Amino acid sequence: MIPLTRPARLTPGARVAVVAPSGPVPEERLQAGVDILRAWDLDVVVGPHVLDRHAEFSYLAGADEDRAADLQSAWCDRSVDAVLCARGGYGAQRMVDLLDWDAMRAAGPKVFLGFSDITALHEAFAIRTGLVTLHGPMVAGVDFLKNTRAQEQLRATLFDPESVRTISSSGAPLVPGRAHGITLGGCVSLLAADLGTPFARRSAGGGILMIEDIGEEAYRLDRILTQLLRAGWLDGVAGIALGSWVECGPPEEVRAVLADRLGGLGVPVLEEFGFGHCEGALTVPFGVAAELDADAGTLTLDVPALT
């Protein structure tokens, strides 16, 4: 696994496009998030279908074709410097293969931000365009709107990435040690769901795998991780950082499953790293070479997330 191409950092006045590849977006939360971005001196444009609702399925932000069109149009617009997701939910898998990845690759590098269901798009951007992406708070997300830490760390990553080359947490080692590799990950259920799909990553070998999830009970996490193990997807992984496990059941039971399924890999595992569906979620780049220090609770990037 080799480092991916890093997009350019943002500067005051940069144009950013907001899209909704997955679930429906509450209008008031979208507006609040856009107001924060404009206060950062960003020129914000909102995709025409961001506030749509699917005619049949209430869990989708409009038709698959329209959600894909918004993302592709924003990405291929030369005046747009970054594409930011409004929220996760569900739906990215339904539209990811509707995108013209040749055209998007030709449009050149730019910042892409999101998490949760957006994991499917992080993987697609990595495999189909070779670009670094940012796993972090989304524009209409409650954490982004209300948590200063989440806002400040994201803003630093976008505008001053040198200042956040070392990402620190209050996490502790589930398995001690240090590891070096290329960052990747997201919602572990989405990574498992991606197996066998076109252009899916063959394995996490050589990577610093960063995983988290929400609403997956302990037995489901067991099943997901067992599937990744049986498929050989975790073979050769260099190290693992664990984020939040909101609504996944009693923490001690979740921890026991994680230790049972991951502890035998013989690599450092850091828990409670503070990214994902948690308060004050950290922004983490995917596709960058980094050192994970499970004992210190840190991830140190070889280079800044953005150029």
Q: Output the CA–CA distances (angstroms, integers) from residue 132 to 3, 65, 233, 296, in the order listed.
A: 8, 25, 21, 25
Among 22, 54, 116, 169, the one annotated catalytic: 116
How far does CA 264 lie from the centroid of its chain? 26
Place of tokens 């050589």: 206
| Catalytic-residue membership of 189 | no
Answer yes or no: are the C-beta atoms of 179 and 286 closer than 8 Å. no
| Catalytic-residue membership of 135 | no
Among 22, 54, 122, 212, the one annotated catalytic: 212
- Triad 307, 124, 278: Cα angle to 5°: 75
CA distance 83 to 16: 6
Among 49, 135, 277, 291, the one annotated catalytic: 277
| Catalytic-residue membership of 212 | yes
Residues belonging to the active site: 116, 212, 277
